[in-house]
Amino acid sequence: MSHDSTYTTENNEWRLTLVEGPPLRADAQRNRARILDAAEAVFAEFGTRASTEEVARRAGVAIGTVFRHFPSKDDLLAAIMKRLLAQLVEEAGRHDLFAFFTHTVAQAAAKKTAVDLLAGSGVDIRLPDALAHLEEAVGRLLEQAQAAGAVADSVRLPEVMALLASVCQGALHGGWNEQLQARTLAVIFSGLKCD
């Protein structure tokens, strides 16, 4: 990809370089994605106290590049959360309420950082739009479940969201195994069905 040639004279070394013009938008986009992936991995592994420098290292870019794409560390964390919420919305479209619960809880550990951030761990991040989208999606699942008689009519969206958030955090921090997760969700599902 390099078009350089090198010439040496008495005292100096000269290099002939093909100047390719400004890096393409595509490169920048790729960098942005690599940084986000690296950040998700690093923060999941070491917590949000991990250094931005470590994120840059894992992403294979210089620290300045991280700050060009995300002007502050909080911006970077917010971006991770936004991506998680978008994924959840998308997944809500492919599941019924119970399956969505199960799937989401199972993924909680993998999405450690985002779940923590959702929980508001110190970092000041507000993503009302993204959260509203998720709430809408879950609302639809709840309506469907109630229409099918699988959930009691007395149940409302706020407590479903509250339960979802709670169990995600519980699973994440409690280090639940599959069995414990199943038994815990069973209690909640049973509660949603009974009056």
Partner DNA sequence: TATGAATGAGTATTCATTCAT
Partner DNA sequence: TATGAATGAATACTCATTCAT
Residues in contact with DNA by the rule CB under 7 A:
22-25, 27-28, 31, 49-53, 61-65, 67-69, 71-74
Q: Does 15 bind a second copy (CB under 8 A)?
A: yes
Output the smallest distance, CB 60 to a second copy, in A: 17
Q: Which is nearer to a second copy, 45 or 75 (CB)?
A: 45
The backbone region for 43, taken as left when phi is positive above 0, alpha when psi lies in -120 to 50, beta otherwise, is: alpha
The backbone region for 120, taken as left when phi is positive above 0, alpha when psi lies in -120 to 50, beta otherwise, is: left
Output the smallest distance, CB 57 to a second copy, in A: 15
Q: Is 41:58 a contact under the CB 8 Å cutoff?
A: yes
Pick from 33, 47, 62, 99 the residue near a second copy by CB under 8 A.
47
Residue 69 is given by DSSP the state H
Q: Is 95:141 a contact under the CB 8 Å cutoff?
A: yes
Q: Is 37:25 a contact under the CB 8 Å cutoff?
A: no
Residue 14 partner contact from DNA, a second copy, none using kind-dependent CB cut-offs of 5 to 8 Å = a second copy
Which chain residues interact with a second copy by CB under 8 A?
3, 6, 12-20, 46-49, 116, 118-122, 155-156, 158-159, 162-163, 165-167, 169-171, 173-174, 176, 180, 183-184, 186-195
